[in-house]
Structure 1
């Protein structure tokens, strides 16, 4: 039994990463199992909030019990998680997962995030929580894998090979491609967030953004940068 947990912030190509692992014959994927728990706990105003709360288990502890049960019935269970959804849990539980941290430069992430959340705060980025989770695991001698989404898009084959090696599974070329369109394992929020990834058949090549950075997001960018820079020092390099 192996549980691989991807810990990401929003707009970090995390859904494409989940699609990649879903192509493996030995792997079952779950999309953001703790999302309803997060929305109930914080009352954050997200697109499709009421649908998420009505369709998913709201009790995070029950969710984790189901996750452990499902892991008994598959060789690899892959969880796509948002870092900020990890609320009210002991970080000790992270030690039962193979943890992968997916990061993205906030200078590129924030302008994308405001399309769904017009007035984001630091909590919405997940970066502070991600940094705290990383520090816990690092201090326990269980340093997690860190991937920068830019590097993943620049050379996804090389990064995925490194990831597979780090979690002791075989890499397969099947992880590089998938069919376009919605997926049966998409979360119920997919219609609000997944429009672009549904058009894809693999990882989209990295394109540097040259648009001016929105002035109203500069204070939040300054909050995000120290956490991103800390995590970036530990990321796989291409």
Structure 2
């Protein structure tokens, strides 16, 4: 008897283009997709997924496993500006879920995050905690998880998505790389963070608007200096870095 496919988690540093990647997964049509479920759960105290409302990370993991076991595989992406301690105390997270990671060059990600939230704390920029999640998964599974880069995603969309699909056991669907522009119900609560994806119709790099960067802002330089070692450690796990 063939085992049910495991849910797929994409853990991403904020502003890494992870919502654009999630949009590709949505466009496939064969997955039950969750946008930042653990983050929303922390903010709101509840999260609705696949017709169920849950109030704890363990409950949410229960539902994700049940839905995947029923035949509709789950894909969820979440960001590392929150911490998920209770979730990571559940062994099933390591044994029954496939974990993947997404990064982006720190100067660009940090500048984009600061433009959206200039009050962000050092931890909310997320590289350090993403690295901690990565190491927890590697330690628990004995395997190095897949890491993809948001800049690779827009520079080489087909190659990047095809390799990701192969790694997690999905058929590559080239048609999913294009979509109709528009907001999505799953991220309506945080629409302003996803405006570029909502206005897009595919994976294309856009020139950034004029903004503060680590090169022009001393505070952002310190943020980038703190997080860069964690980015570099994660970047070494990218397939192209092997």
After TM superposition, is the score higher than 0.5? yes
Return the offset for 1:234. Answer: 0.9
User: Is residue 168 of structure 2 the alignment partner of residue 167 of structure 1?
Assistant: yes
Matches within 5 A, 1:1-238: 1-39=5-43, 52-53=44-45, 57-83=54-80, 84-90=82-88, 92=91, 93-139=93-139, 140-184=141-185, 186-205=186-205, 207=207, 212-237=215-240
Cα pair distance change 1:181/1:175, threshold 3 Å: same
Number of equivalenced pairs: 225
CA deviations 1:159-207 (Å, max 9, x no partner) are 11111111122211122111100123x2342322111110000112265
Q: 1:26 touches 1:76 (CA, 8 Å); kept in 2?
A: yes
Cα distance in structure 2, aligned partners of 1:55 and 1:97: 19
Cα distance in structure 2, aligned partners of 1:86 and 1:54: 15
Report the RMSD for the aligned CA atoms in angstroms: 2.4
Cα pair distance change 1:14/1:97, threshold 3 Å: same
Cα distance in structure 1, aligned partners of 2:20 and 2:66: 25
Q: 2:9 touches 2:98 (CA, 8 Å); kept in 1?
A: yes
Return the offset for 1:55. Answer: 6.6
Structure 2: runs of 5 or more not aligned? 49-53
Q: 1:8 touches 1:102 (CA, 8 Å); kept in 2?
A: yes
After TM superposition, the score normalised by the length of structure 1 is 0.84
CA deviations 1:12-69 (Å, max 9, x no partner) are 1111111101122321211111113433xxxxxxxxxxxx457765422222222223
Cα distance in structure 2, aligned partners of 1:94 and 1:70: 17
Cα distance in structure 1, aligned partners of 2:221 and 2:177: 35
Higher relative contact order (CA 8 A, sep 6+): 1
**Deviates most, 20-29 or 6-15:** 20-29
Cα distance in structure 2, aligned partners of 1:30 and 1:69: 14
Cα distance in structure 2, aligned partners of 1:141 and 1:8: 21
